[in-house]
Amino acid sequence: MLLLHGSGPGTTAWRTWRPLCEALADRFELIAPDQAGFGGTPIPAGRQAARALWVEQAIALMDLLGHERYSVVGHSMGGAVALAAAAARPDAVRAIVGIGCMGAPMPLPHGLDRLWSARPTRAGAAEVLGLIAPRPPGERGAPTANGAPDPAAVEDRLEAMLAQGEEAYAALFPPPRERWVADLRLREPEWERIAAPVLLVHGARDQIVPWREGALPLLERLPRADLHLLGDCGHSPHLARPELVHRLLAHHLEINA
């Protein structure tokens, strides 16, 4: 199973997928790379961090590891990369899971614009957490009683944002940011090449990729897609409702093995 993270500032594969890896490592072989421009993976010289590069690297990694058939799970931006990889290699990708998934034609959502423009300050880190919310009460990262993000979660996110570097992140999605949404949109020939069954999991209160603009068009375009819409859940259902999402994901991948 190839796990592809999203695009928020300070994002890494391990921060995104640690709960899933800990829950499912005994059932699946899990591969979770930092995509170019995030974590420990630099952008190659002379290249732009964009969908073409992320797809190219994802496919090359699985080829290098010798995996001829595999599933791909993607969150947000990573969902668009997962769909594009499946279109590029329909012979290899046997199942797809898109969580808060991009890839459909849509205008730049206001929440995504704010996420991509966030800067490594405490206010910026708090805004990122607020955009990702809501989460169940009492969970790390959930808002406190006065509606503010948990201070420990703010410090944790700020540390990750500072580790990535302000200039490095700002260079990924400079304005006008509509072009990066357009870059992540699949083109008409690609939709026809996606043969694998697709599970879409989306939060009904997603502020970054609203489900009506993200998941619903994907459901209409992908004939083998199913959608699970989770109420009172934001942009990261795999972190906000991990037990449910892990069950849905494992079932989808096992029946399509």
Q: How many other C-beta atoms lie within 10 A of the C-beta of residue 3?
A: 25
Options 206, 236, 238, 252, the catalytic residue: 206
Which two structure tokens, joined as six digits, stand for 203?
Answer: 């939060």
Q: Name all domains of the chain by residue range, CATH numbers in brackets.
A: 2-107+181-255 (3.40.50.1820)
Kind plus residue range of the DSSP H or E element containing 243: helix 242-255
Options 75, 235, 238, 252, the catalytic residue: 235
Q: Are strands 225-230 and 70-75 parallel, antiparallel or unpaired?
A: unpaired
Per-residue pLDDT of the chain (257 residues; tens, 9 = 90+): 999 999 999 999 999 999 999 999 999 999 999 999 999 999 999 999 999 999 999 999 999 999 999 999 999 999 999 999 999 999 999 999 999 999 999 999 999 999 999 999 999 999 999 998 754 444 444 444 445 678 999 999 999 999 999 999 999 999 999 999 999 999 999 999 999 999 999 999 999 999 999 999 999 999 999 999 999 899 999 999 999 999 999 999 999 97
User: Taking each helix axis from N to C terminus, what angle separates 151-164 and 122-132, rounded to the nearest 10 degrees?
Assistant: 110
Q: How many other C-beta atoms lie within 10 A of the C-beta of residue 243?
A: 9
Backbone angles phi, psi at 70, to 5 degrees: -160, 165
pTM (predicted TM-score): 0.94
Q: Is 206 noted as a catalytic residue in this protein?
A: yes
Whether 75 and 6 have beta carbons less than 8 Å apart is answered as: yes
Options 7, 71, 76, 236, the catalytic residue: 76
Q: How many other C-beta atoms lie within 10 A of the C-beta of residue 109?
A: 18
Q: Is 252 noted as a catalytic residue in this protein?
A: no
- CA distance linking residue 253 with residue 130, whole number of Å: 31
- The pLDDT assigned to 150 comes to 86
10 Å CB burial of residue 142 (0-12, 13-18, 19+) is: middle
Kind plus residue range of the DSSP H or E element containing 200: strand 198-203
Whether 70 and 90 have beta carbons less than 8 Å apart is answered as: no
Q: How many other C-beta atoms lie within 10 A of the C-beta of residue 233?
A: 25
CA contacts within 13 A on the Cβ side of 154: 15
Residue with tokens 């940011």: 177
